[in-house]
């Protein structure tokens, strides 16, 4: 029995040394010292011993129990500390690591182009003005000398809010000419960028919403020569010095005479390429001398004052600048597209 008890001690000690977590140690305690454990099993055989041997055996049992308990306690401390240490290491925060920078967005490519144009006009003494996208027909059409019956006034072309066609989404930024003339002191030098709306189906070159930049100068003695000189300068700033332009006669109800401005293709020098679709020329804007009827309608005497105006599509300009071939990309806000600029 003595040998059995010593063997139990050796086995238990060995197992306790090898245990490396608290649960395992508890299992071992139950296995060796528990009520149904191995020590109890040995002590059950005490009955076989002589009365002199029993207290000796009892003493030995107490000693072994004490040793095992002591070792369990020691081991429990070591294992608990090691586990805590591991946990701390796992959850450690290195405060010296550099922080993660939040990703910053950037300006939309079309607004880069708009900013460039604003800078050019500000440099020439123009003011940037803003106006309503929801407009009265009077301002979008009538005061601009666009008569009843003009095709652009049709329900099929224009978004109207009311059945009497009085309120609409502006189809052009030209109503800003009227607002400027009615509210600003003369002389006037403004550009007015903004959204415009037309009933167009979406495709690679059309969208029911797009952007225009309106420009206007009203002063004494302003002529077509001023229009040409100013717009030539703007074109050179956008497309580079020496860019060739041509002013083609055109018709707008609110300017007389009217023209469209083309630039000779800056990619092929006029030979014809994919950028200019083989034409050699790229249409940039519509312009003209503000119609005397429009001036007098705003209370400005056309015998004293004259002026010029232009309207330019912003998307088309941005598409040319960044070689974007599909208008939809500009409005879809797909970051994979936008990130490239």
Q: How many residues bind ligand PHE (CB under 6 A)?
A: 10
CB of 340 to ligand PHE, least distance (A): 30
**Does the footprint of ligand PHE cover residue 172 (CB under 6 A)?**
yes
Q: CB–CB of 311/173 below 8 Å?
A: yes
Residues 6+ apart with CB under 8 A from 338: 106, 108, 109
**CB-nearer residue toward ligand PHE: 4 or 229:** 229
Give, to the nearest 10 degrees, the angle between helix 314-322 and helix 109-123.
Answer: 110
What is d(CA 142, CA 252) in angstroms, rounded to the nearest whole number? 13
For residue 260, how far is the Cα from the chain centroid? 35
Within 299-318, the residues that bind ligand PHE by CB under 6 A are 309-311
CB of 263 to ligand PHE, least distance (A): 17
Q: Which stretch binds ligand PHE (CB under 6 A): 7-15, 159-167, 200-208, 281-289?
A: 281-289
Residue whose Cβ sits closest to ligand PHE: 311
What is d(CA 77, CA 71) in angstroms, rounded to the nearest whole number? 10
* Locus of tokens 């528990």: 34
**CB-nearer residue toward ligand PHE: 174 or 207:** 174
Which of 109, 253, 288, 307 is close enough to bind ligand PHE by CB under 6 A? 288
Within 203-262, the residues that bind ligand PHE by CB under 6 A are 252, 255
Q: Which stretch binds ligand PHE (CB under 6 A): 30-38, 87-95, 98-106, 285-293?
A: 285-293
**CB-nearer residue toward ligand PHE: 140 or 264:** 140
Q: CB–CB of 307/219 below 8 Å?
A: yes
Name residue 246's beta-bridge partners.
262
CB atoms within 10 A of CB 145: 17
Residues 6+ apart with CB under 8 A from 31: 37, 38
**CB-nearer residue toward ligand PHE: 28 or 255:** 255
What is d(CA 39, CA 60) in angstroms, rounded to the nearest whole number? 11
**CB-nearer residue toward ligand PHE: 32 or 210:** 210
**CB-nearer residue toward ligand PHE: 75 or 193:** 193
**CB-nearer residue toward ligand PHE: 253 or 320:** 253
Q: CB–CB of 206/225 below 8 Å?
A: no
Name the strands in the sheet holding 245-252, side by side, starting at the edge strand that comes first in the sequence: 127-128, 188-197, 209-220, 305-313, 281-290, 255-264, 245-252
Q: Which stretch binds ligand PHE (CB under 6 A): 29-37, 73-81, 105-113, 283-291?
A: 283-291
**Does the footprint of ligand PHE cover residue 287 (CB under 6 A)?**
yes
Q: Which stretch binds ligand PHE (CB under 6 A): 107-115, 203-211, 274-282, 284-292?
A: 284-292
**Which residues lie near ligand PHE (CB under 6 A)?**
172, 174, 252, 255, 286-288, 309-311
């Amino acid at each position: 029995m003595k040998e059995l008890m010593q063997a139990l001690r050796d086995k238990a000690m060995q197992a306790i040394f090898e245990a490396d977590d608290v649960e395992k140690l508890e299992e071992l305690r139950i296995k060796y010292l528990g009520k149904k454990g191995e020590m109890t099993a040995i002590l059950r055989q005490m009955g076989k011993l002589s009365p002199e041997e029993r207290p000796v055996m009892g003493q030995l049992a107490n000693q072994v129990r004490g040793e095992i308990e002591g070792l369990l306690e020691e081991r429990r401390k070591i294992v608990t500390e090691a586990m805590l240490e591991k946990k701390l290491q796992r959850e450690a925060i290195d405060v010296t690591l550099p922080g993660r920078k939040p990703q910053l967005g950037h300006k939309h490519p079309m607004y880069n182009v708009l900013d460039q144009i604003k800078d050019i006009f500000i440099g020439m003494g123009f003011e940037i003005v803003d106006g309503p996208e929801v407009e009265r027909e009077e301002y979008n059409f009538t005061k601009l000398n666009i008569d009843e019956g003009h095709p652009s006034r049709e329900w099929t072309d224009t978004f109207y809010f009311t059945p009497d066609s009085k309120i609409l989404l502006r189809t052009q930024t030209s109503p800003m000419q009227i607002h400027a003339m009615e509210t600003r002191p003369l002389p006037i030098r403004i550009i007015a960028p903004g959204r415009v709306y037309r009933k167009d189906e979406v495709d690679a070159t059309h969208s029911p919403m797009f952007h225009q930049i309106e420009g206007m100068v009203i002063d004494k003695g302003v002529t077509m020569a001023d229009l040409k000189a100013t717009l030539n300068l703007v074109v050179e700033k956008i497309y580079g010095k020496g860019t060739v332009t041509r002013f083609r006669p055109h018709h707008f109800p609110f300017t007389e005479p009217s023209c469209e401005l083309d630039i000779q293709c800056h990619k092929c020098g006029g030979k014809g390429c994919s950028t200019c679709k083989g034409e050699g020329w790229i249409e940039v804007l519509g312009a003209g001398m503000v119609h005397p009827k429009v001036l007098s309608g705003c209370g400005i005497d056309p015998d004293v004052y004259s002026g010029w105006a232009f309207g330019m599509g912003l998307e088309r300009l941005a598409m040319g600048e960044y070689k974007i071939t599909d208008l939809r990309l500009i409005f879809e806000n797909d970051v994979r597209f936008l990130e490239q600029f």
